[in-house]
Structure 1
């Protein structure tokens, strides 16, 4: 029995069990995992004739309101995604021929579409709000800030990246300083990107040509900080260039050592009157 045929024979049973009887089904037959991206996962498994079907209920946040969520219902027989419901579209989408056929039929049934509102409200909005409060997401969370560099190529300058991860709320400001002066050119920043669990991230990029003695700093301002967080990048050369210099210096030192050893050996032989006699 192929996944498509299996799904075709199970589709009515799955929808009835996982949607109309959701509350009891939720408690007795399925597992729930609170995590990030999405912030909640509800999974169920059915088996028949050596085949199995996985049903996933996924919840994603769409903003800072714990009730502003997106619900995804996904049917996966034998590891093949066949059909999916998206609450933002309020419709089913098929990913295989039989899945597309079933989706087209079910999208015309208002009762089926209305059935998806039960897990949307009961699972995502209700339990999502509980997880939101229990996880302290309603409170300020400071960003984790990192400063890194991508080495330059032959024709391109280096790129410094200042990244802030997992912060809340999303309002944040990232700026650059060069020798204490704010940088206003050769820089770009991403928008605040949602993680899907009410937290956010942002990345700012600065083109950078290494100059001896120059100091570059990234400043991150967030409401969770009592004062701006400043990360300094004051290295005159990128890691790759510093490695090349270290290797070159090591080679020079070894050369001096061997030259000194050779000179010492020659002087000792000369002092003792020993000479090298060529052999035929």
Structure 2
């Protein structure tokens, strides 16, 4: 039995600000109230769990867990609120029904937009100049942009040899629009006559995507050359 922890998550946030200050007056207080809804699924909709959290100024006050069946308070104020809500049969009945109305009902949309969503990355290579003026290039930067889901593998090659010891990568960063980005630096000054390849493997790709980069072999200043999605070196 595989658990899809938060296979779909429905998030709602409400930010409440104090009254708009008069002209020239300073804002004296900011109050933030957030309601967060989470749906957990096991074997599709065979078992569904709803978790709803109420967060006040970054501190969780109250939580409802459908597996528990009632509200639980985590602060002095939260305990009072939970006690009030638990004593109201209309509120508790609506919350129990939300497991079906919010989670199970919307599950049909989750596979298409979450679990089956595939967006291939765009990949480019750029030369990273040295921090010192007139120094040689620090290395090559592989920019992997706008992909989904987040899991991805990026490798650097010099010719046919994989380079790993001089590779530094950022964390996978969410863009806020269901896409992600990643920067992978090869901290190795590129040498003339050699080709360098940034290879990206992602679930959206039928085969690894490769970007190639090299320097011309002549007496002219170094000229970067970027090739496309070819499988071999040049």
TM bracket (short chain): 0.5 to 0.7
Residue aligning to 2:33: 85
Q: Does structure 2 retain, via aligned residues, the 8 Å contact 1:66–1:128?
A: no
Residue of structure 2 aligned with 1:151, choices 129, 139, 147: 129
- When the two chains are superposed, the root-mean-square deviation of aligned CA atoms in Å is 4.3
- 1:179 paired with 2:120, answer no
Alignment of 1:1-280 (within 5 A): 65-67=7-9, 69-76=10-17, 77-78=19-20, 82-87=30-35, 90-93=54-57, 107=78, 109-110=80-81, 138-154=116-132, 157-235=137-215
**How far off is 1:211 after superposition?**
2.1
The TM-score with structure 2 as length reference comes to 0.52
Higher relative helix content: 1
Residue aligning to 1:250: none
Q: Does structure 1 retain, via aligned residues, the 8 Å contact 2:167–2:187?
A: yes
Q: Does structure 1 retain, via aligned residues, the 8 Å contact 2:139–2:190?
A: no
1: distance between equivalents of 2:15 and 2:76? 17
1: distance between equivalents of 2:84 and 2:128? 49
Q: Does structure 2 retain, via aligned residues, the 8 Å contact 1:142–1:167?
A: yes
Q: Does structure 2 retain, via aligned residues, the 8 Å contact 1:163–1:204?
A: yes
2: distance between equivalents of 1:121 and 1:197? 26
Number of residues of Structure 1 aligned to a counterpart in Structure 2: 166
**How far off is 1:231 after superposition?**
0.4
Higher relative strand content: 2
1: distance between equivalents of 2:137 and 2:193? 17
Distance 1:242 1:182, change over 3 A: closer
2: distance between equivalents of 1:225 and 1:186? 26
2: distance between equivalents of 1:195 and 1:132? 20
The TM-score with structure 1 as length reference comes to 0.45
CA deviations on 1:83-134 (whole Å, 9 max, x unpaired) are 212446732118xxxxxxxxx996564259969x98x989996998677566
Quick check: which has more Rg, 1 or 2? 1
Could you tell me which runs of 5 or more consecutive residues in structure 2 were left unpaired when the two chains were aligned: 22-26, 37-52, 59-74, 86-90, 224-234
Shifted more, 105-114 versus 81-90: the winner is: 105-114
Could you tell me which runs of 5 or more consecutive residues in structure 1 were left unpaired when the two chains were aligned: 1-62, 95-103, 244-280
